[in-house]
Amino acid sequence: MSSKGSLLAGLRARIETLERHASSPALRALIPDAARLPAASPPWTLGAPEIDAHLAGGLNAASLHEVKPQGCATDAAAGASAGQWATALGFALRLAVRRANALRAHSGAHTHILWCWPSAFARELGLPCGEGLAALGLDPAACLFVETKRASEALWAMEEGLKSASLALVVGVMKEAELTPARRLALAAAGSLTPCLLVTDPRSSAAGSTATRWRIGAHPSALHPFEADAPGARRYAVSLERCRNGALLSQALSLPLEWSDETHRFRVAPALADRADEPRHARRGA
């Protein structure tokens, strides 16, 4: 191997080591303003023990995580519909709620979330509503939205937001992130102990340097406990396709997760919850 090839191989190995040990003192020593960073980040969990245990206690709060919507089941080339994108974004927002709540409980400080995306996505999917964010559990005043003309500009804004070490979470929505930008985001997340969520097109290649990768689809909700014609708690068909720090996955871990608006946490959806009242209704009609 040439001297140049040996140098590149050594740099790649060093980057991979830094990504695996995001919060190590060696990495923090490389950051000029490391003294103003938090000493540790509180656990960032989903709230469902069945999946948090598989994540070695929760999501790594100093890493890059990728979320993909489920694409069209009959035509992979068609990508995801607006509804499928909205489902994935809803899951990402609920992860943001979990992150903000964890930080608030840990330090009592107000937390800000940076959301970056190209304007084409904003026009197609619509802007998040302040009332909806508040109902979900996020303070609209703490959510910073950045629209850019190009995806590269959104990636730059995300990286700068991560480097500021003043945010609870950075979220990016775009078609894809190539290897170099994804690595830059991962290193910035590790350096500032600030997590980054990247929501990308299901047709694009998986982003590099991610701690986890999720594929999110809609799942039928349970019956509403007080109104039979109303939908119950929001449910997601969740597949964990990659988990760097958890158990090795021979295949994707797939679970139906249900979100509680009262407790702001996920739980594994009961398999028969949506059918529990069917026998009673059937007896009434008999």
> Number of C-alpha atoms within 13 angstroms, CB side, residue 111?
22
CATH number at residue 39: 3.40.50.300
Tokens 């919060």 label which residue?
A: 23
For the cut 70, the answer to whether the pLDDT of residue 1 exceeds it is no
Average pLDDT along the chain: 83
Complete edge-to-edge strand list for the sheet that includes strand 196-200: 143-148, 113-118, 169-174, 196-200, 64-69, 210-218, 235-243, 253-260, 265-268
Q: Which two tokens stand for residue 101?
A: 């709540």
pLDDT for residue 40 is more than 70: no
pLDDT digits (tens, 9 = 90+) for 197-232: 999 999 999 998 999 999 999 999 887 777 777 778
Give the single-character DSSP code of 44: B
Kindly report whether the global pTM for this prediction surpasses the value 0.85. Answer: no
Q: What is the pLDDT of residues 159-179, one digit of tens each?
A: 999 999 999 999 999 999 999
Rounded alpha-carbon distances, angstroms, from residue 214 to 71, 151, 165: 13, 21, 25
Helix (H) or strand (E) run with residue 267 in it:
strand 265-268
pLDDT for the residue numbered 222: 80
Q: Which helix (H) or strand (E) holds 117?
A: strand 113-118
Query: Where residue 23 falls among pLDDT bands split at 50, 70, 90?
Result: very low
CA distances from 201 to 67, 161, 230, 282 (A): 9, 22, 31, 43
Q: Based on the structure, what is the number of domains in the chain?
A: 1
Structural domain range at position 202: 3-285
Q: How many Å is the Cα radius of gyration of the chain?
A: 20
Q: Which amino acid makes up residue 64?
A: L
pLDDT over threshold 70, residue 119: yes
Instruction: Tell me the sheet residues that pair with 126.
Output: none
pLDDT in tens, 180-200: 999 999 999 999 999 999 999
**Which residue from 220, 221, 223, 219 is spatially nearest to 281, judged by alpha carbons?**
223
At residue 252 the predicted structure's pLDDT band, cuts being 50, 70 and 90, is confident
Quote the pLDDT of residue 24: 47
Q: Residue 191 in contact with residue 23, Cβ under 8 Å?
A: no
pLDDT category at 283 given cuts 50, 70, 90 is: very low
Cβ neighbours, 10 Å, residue 207: 23
